[in-house]
Structure 1
Amino acid sequence: MSILSKTINVLLVDDDEINNFISIKLIKKALLNTSITACLNGKFAIDQLVELQQKDPESLPDYILLDINMPIMNGWDFLDEYNRLGIDPLKKTKIYIISSSVFSNDISKAKSYPLVHDFISKPLNVERIKEIFGVIEN
């Protein structure tokens, strides 16, 4: 099945509402068939994921775009809790750290998590989104 023929479910976890608005617009511009849910902190995202896992594990997101610095539960704590709870035992979901951090220790730490596919610096752009989601243009 082509990536363009099915709906791609994305969970955006970032406390910056303006950034979320822009990211959602860019993702929808890059990908036609997307369902995007935004959470303003890691705790809320974990709660939603646990509920999805219990009700319908098939509906877990295809991608999680995760900020590092957030109140209540930051990105690192989210990753630890996500792993501890075994939310995605089939490893369906691809997690990307999306951060404005330029600290090399954050980039190294992100890459040390087996769950994390890559570290992406903000701001997002359409080309980078297409790269993340594997969109091939003719």
Structure 2
Amino acid sequence: MKITHAILVDDDPILRYSIKKMINPYIQGTQFHAFACGYDALEYIQNMQLNDSNRVLILLDLNMPLLTGVEFLKQFTEKFKDKVNQFSIHILSSSSNPKERKELLNHTLVQGFISKPITMMELESLIA
């Protein structure tokens, strides 16, 4: 199913800008939104008008100051449990801890783990 929305949640303004520039050529016709805070992203998702044909890609930073990626996943699960099949969540992290990576990949909502810095090829494979 084609991605209709792409959401980036990362507190690093340079990374948000970089990913937006890299992803734009590949998401023609897709709504792209970037948030510095997980709370803002959750509020945006809550207000989205989704139907069964929508597919939402979320790129989620793991280490953020106000709401960590793990806390985001917990709140996301509670708030959107009836819509989780419309979302594809991929963790973005500079962490090289294999135990942490394995735990996150075992989370039912997490479909991928991408080490920072993200490359163009990784973005292309997510969108394809």
TM range (shorter): 0.7 to 0.9
Cα distance change of structure 1 residues 51 and 114 upon mapping to structure 2, 3 Å threshold: same
Max radius of gyration: which structure? 1
Q: Structure 1 residue aligned with 2:50, among 51, 57, 60? A: 57
For residue 106 of structure 1, report the CA deviation from its aligned partner.
Answer: 2.1
Comparing 58-67 and 72-81, the one that deviates more: 58-67
Structure 1, unaligned runs of 5 or more:
none
2:77, 2:84 within 8 Å by CA — same for their partners in 1?
no
Partner secondary structure for residue 63 of structure 2: coil
- Percent identity (aligned): 29
Cα deviation code 1:29-72 (max 9, x no counterpart): 344333210111111111211222xxx22397610000000111
In 1, Cα distance between equivalents of 2:55 and 2:42? 12
Normalising by structure 1, report the TM-score. 0.81
After TM superposition, give the deviation of residue 21 of structure 1 in Å.
Answer: 0.2
Q: Where has structure 1 moved over 6 Å in runs of 4 or more?
A: none
Cα deviations by residue, 1:61-96 (Å, 9 ceiling, x for unpaired): 610000000111110000000001125525111110
Partners of 1:60 and 1:13 in 2: CA distance: 19
User: Unpaired runs of 5+ in structure 2?
Assistant: none
Residue 111, structure 1, aligned to residue 105, structure 2: yes
Q: In 1, Cα distance between the equivalents of 2:70 and 2:122?
A: 23
Partner residue of 1:99? Answer: 93
TM-score by length of structure 2 reads: 0.87
Q: Give the RMSD, CA atoms, in angstroms.
A: 2.1
Q: How many residues align?
A: 127
